[in-house]
Chain A
């Protein structure tokens, strides 16, 4: 059943990616690289250099949106940062963002540990908080440098991930008649399907000694404990079986959905969901080809890549899915939203 959060308006969306662009066709670890690129739909990815971390990308996106919207830093009541690649295991990166952006000390700041469902989960979390605590202005920051978790010799994941940061400016406005609708679904039994085992604190000593040792899987992919491990078939099954019914229910309930911004995982999942929804009235924009899977940032990246300086009429259905395993969907009107061109650092 759809939940509703009243009077929430998205004022603006800004994104930032690293300058460094990787061309997948140059990858040496795939026998038939062109066939793989065609199947996953990712030609290029922007990847952070050694020194750049998630907060660097998010700070630039935040500075850009605060300046363009002419917001004052001390007006921001809440900053929520969603990431699975924080700058440190502890403390939370949101505190670093607060400091670097010079937000007031009374701003509520915290991190949420999520990946590809992070943008929509984050929208639900920050909107609910703003509504219940009567906070006027908020920033939802999302971002990841997932490329740093991937072993280049792991052919399951070495073509998929790009890095990005994004900031969405949110207003809790009593005069705004539009509401945010949402739904969500989680299956914790799939927690091992997307995992970086080295951060486990149970068995920490054992892992610390061995965490850099690379092991071969049955397909000769090399991975250590500090690398991300993906169970492709399980994730695929979870996505193509659970997402379409959720989205079809929403589309049947809320008329005038014009856009469906899916998390950009890979082309096979996109195509399968789109085919099952089977609606000619809805556009499914993509940014996969140019940016790859940028984790929690794929939805704002897709919005900014396709519609910067434009206005979106009608409802936008946003759907994130991935690590957990988890899914969340948000329906919102983006007609008043300022969409900014993606910046590069």
Chain B
């Protein structure tokens, strides 16, 4: 499951990412990315995630956990 989510997130970040990556060090972790993550969660994983929860994620693994 984690691998599948990570693969979907890589499409959003437009680069290879690891669960241990810090979000603060990712260049594309902006408002567009947050909306794309919310959209992915809603349409593919049937999860409602709000923007503030995503902003608070310090590592990619924290984002992955929101999808499970």
Measured CB to CB, the residues of A under 8 A from B are 31-32, 35-36, 39-40, 155-156, 219, 232-234, 236-237, 240-241, 268, 271-272, 275-276
Do residues B35 and A276 form an inter-chain contact, with CB atoms below 8 A? no
- Per the bound structure, the CA–CA distance linking A241 and B43 in Å amounts to 10
Do residues B42 and A233 form an inter-chain contact, with CB atoms below 8 A? no
Would you give the shortest CB distance from B4 to chain A, in whole angstroms?
18
Total A-B contacts with CB atoms under 8 angstroms apart: 53
Measured CB to CB, the residues of B under 8 A from A are 14, 27-28, 30-32, 34-36, 38-39, 42-43, 48, 50-52, 54
- Per the bound structure, the CA–CA distance linking A71 and B43 in Å amounts to 47
Do residues B39 and A236 form an inter-chain contact, with CB atoms below 8 A? yes
- Per the bound structure, the CA–CA distance linking A236 and B52 in Å amounts to 12
Do residues A232 and B35 form an inter-chain contact, with CB atoms below 8 A? yes
Q: A232-B51, A233-B52 are in contact. List 15 more A-B contacts (CB 8 A).
A: A32-B28, A36-B32, A39-B35, A156-B31, A232-B31, A232-B35, A233-B31, A233-B34, A233-B35, A237-B48, A240-B43, A271-B39, A272-B39, A272-B42, A275-B43
Q: Nearest chain-A residue to B51 (Cβ)?
A: A233
Return the contact of A234 from the options B28, B43, B51 (Cβ within 8 A): B51
A31, A32, A156, A233: residue with the most chain B Cβ atoms closer than 10 Å? A233
A31, A234, A240, A271: residue with the most chain B Cβ atoms closer than 10 Å? A240
